[in-house]
Amino acid sequence: MAIQIPRVKLGTQGFEVSKLGFGCMGLSGHNNSVSDEAGIAIIKHAFERGITHFDTADMYGPKTNEILVGKKVQLATKFGVESMGPGGPVINGTPEFVRSSLEASLQRLDVDYIDLYYIIRVDHKTPIEDTMEELKKLVEEGKIKYIGISEASPETIKRAHAVHPLTAVQLEWSLWTRDVEEEIIPLCRELGIGIVPYSPLGRGFFAGRANKDTSSTPLVWRLTLLGFNLYLTYVIWT
């Protein structure tokens, strides 16, 4: 008997998705990528089983993940990383970058609008109000339907939500990562913002996939958070 994935309302603006989502970063992101044919087959398999919430970002690949996902489905993508430098990602939340990133994602995904558009990381040099005002304009223009934010502080969430209602906050939440339960989860529930957890299996720990050998492959970035999770896993398992 086929499993039926239930559907839920994300936030309070009427956005309905499958309760279980599919993070597409692993198809052509920071690990051993699969072929386009295999990636499309995986997406199709998930879709046929009721998953309608597919999550990507312009930095995955980079850029190529959106192209792959756009060949089959469209739903949620993200912006905000201008480049990857030696000191880490360069975050840009200026109105100009918001618009240029959105236009580029529309082209790669080959769609007229994006259902859910996330700020992938907060640009602390640009007031969040400026970023949100531009996103609000894009909603009014019909180029995006709903706005989300990833890895933001409670204060930033409040300020962003005051400009335009946030539909979703994406954050790491699992038995491994519980600190978000102190302030962010209650705040989202109070404001009626949907919660989209990533890495619910502890970046591989609860799936039994992270091990010492992982450190010599590209999987180290994704599964180990620059080695930290690998270290904890190795200590526990040994």
User: Which residue from 184, 206, 209 is spatially nearest to 194, judged by alpha carbons?
Assistant: 184
Buried b (16+ CB within 10 A) or exposed e, 124-149: eebebeebbebbeebbeeebbbbbbb
User: Which residue from 79, 89, 150, 161 is spatially nearest to 114, judged by alpha carbons?
Assistant: 79
CA distance 154 to 156: 6
Other CB atoms within 10 A of residue 29 CB: 20
User: Which residue from 205, 203, 157 is spatially nearest to 180, judged by alpha carbons?
Assistant: 157
Other CB atoms within 10 A of residue 231 CB: 12
In a 3-state reduction of DSSP, which class is residue 19?
Answer: coil
Q: Is 60 a catalytic residue?
A: yes
Q: Of the listed 60, 117, 118, 146, which one is catalytic? A: 60
- Residues designated as active site: 60
